[in-house]
Amino acid sequence: MALKKSCKQLVADAQSVVRTIPVADAIERHNDPGVVFVDLRDVRELEREGMIPGALHAPRGMLEFWVDPDSPYYKEVFGSEKEFYFYCASAWRSALATRTVQEMGLEPVAHIEGGFSGWKKAGGPVGEKPARNTKVKSKN
């Protein structure tokens, strides 16, 4: 079966219409309260490699639902009028995700050049994935 478009073509198309922020600029803005870093990687990647400290983990498969205020899965952070920097391992998934949320109307948005790999290579801070809240509600 021949595909109409390859995954590389989809990524290239997305990169042509989204803003890519150089990793050095992203590192410089890391502690800016007006910027939300959004990690799109699978939870296993976060556990294995760590993540940008303070980043929001938004699994790629849930992103559109978390961004849409009419979705039962909506996350208020996406209505905060902040700037969003998306990243994945190597900037392929983040290019696609940034294009999608841009088409949905979320702005301002960008994705980080080189992804998390580029971030680490440039010396950006890396922390562990925060522990999941595992409190059990009392039945009292």
Counting as low any pLDDT under 70, the low residues of the chain are: 133-140
- Return the structure tokens found at 77: 């952070």
Query: Which neighbouring-strand residues pair with 109?
Result: 84
Residue pair 58/38 in contact (Cβ under 8 Å)? The answer is yes
pLDDT at site 138 = 39
pLDDT at site 133 = 56
| Residue entry with tokens 């939870």 | 43
Burial annotation 115-124 (CB, 10 A radius, 16+ → b, else e) = bbebbbeeeb
What are the pLDDT digits (tens) for 19-37? Answer: 999 999 999 999 999 999 9
Residue pair 36/85 in contact (Cβ under 8 Å)? The answer is yes
Collapsed DSSP state (helix, strand, coil) of residue 8: helix
Query: Which neighbouring-strand residues pair with 84?
Result: 36, 109
pLDDT at site 1 = 82
- pTM equals 0.90
pLDDT at site 76 = 96
Q: Within the chain, what is the greatest distance between any pair of CA atoms?
A: 60
> In whole angstroms, what is the distance from residue 17 CA to residue 10 CA?
11
Question: Which residue segments constitute the domains of the chain, with CATH numbers given?
Answer: 12-121 (3.40.250.10)
pLDDT at site 132 = 72
Q: What's the full length of the chain, in residues?
A: 140
pLDDT at site 130 = 82
DSSP 72-101: TT--GGGGS--EEEEE-SSSHHHHHHHHHH
